Structure 1
Amino acid sequence: MKAIIHVGLKPGVLDPQGRAISRSLNDLGFDEVSAARQGKVIELDLTGDDSAAAKTRVTEMCEKLLANTVIESYRVEIED
């Protein structure tokens, strides 16, 4: 089983990397880009076969280590 965690900054939190990405894309001629937000994706290989239990455990991992919940939000996907 695999867990995929998408972590990104909460709305309203300044994102200098996203701003740099947006500016650079504009400089390269991609004028349709008006803004960008930068985040991270974490993939975990998990043992077991209970998807609900896995999601609960991965959520605990996010709350304790993988996401800074003061400024970041996260989304967990479990794949069988």
Structure 2
Amino acid sequence: MKARVTIMPKTGVLDPQGEAIRHALTGLGFSGVAEVRQGKVIDLELEATDEEAARAEVGRMCEKLLANTVIESWRVELV
């Protein structure tokens, strides 16, 4: 089973990488971009066969290692 984890800065947390991307896009002539939030995507190949157990296991991975839960939120998709 495959899982995809999307990790993004929480609302209200400064995102200097996103701001740098927005600034660069503006410099390239893309003036219609008001805000950019930059995150990360992690794809996992799991041995689990039960979707609920897999989702719970990936959630524990996020809380312990993959995401900084103070400033980042995460979402798990089973694909």
Q: When the two structures are superposed, what TM-score results if normalisation uses the length of structure 2? A: 0.96
The letter for the 2-side match of 1:21 is I
Structure 2 unmatched runs, 5+: none
Aligned to 2:54: 54
Q: C-alpha deviations, 1:42-61, integer Å up to 9, x for none?
A: 00001131111100000010
Q: Which residue in the other structure is 2:71 paired with?
A: 71
Residue in 1 that maps onto 2:5: 5
Letter in 1 for 2:59: T
SS of residue matched to 1:34: coil
**Counterpart residue number, 1:43:** 43
Q: Distance in 2 between the 1:20 and 1:67 partners?
A: 22
Aligned-pair RMSD on alpha carbons? 0.6
Q: Deviations over 1:6-40 (max 9, x none)?
A: 00100111111000000100110111111100000
The AA in structure 1 aligned to 2:37 is R
Letter in 2 for 1:40: K
Runs of at least 4 residues off by over 6 Å: none
Identity of aligned residues (%): 58
Distance 2:69 2:48 in 1: 27
Question: Separation in 2 of the partners of 1:35 and 1:44?
Answer: 29
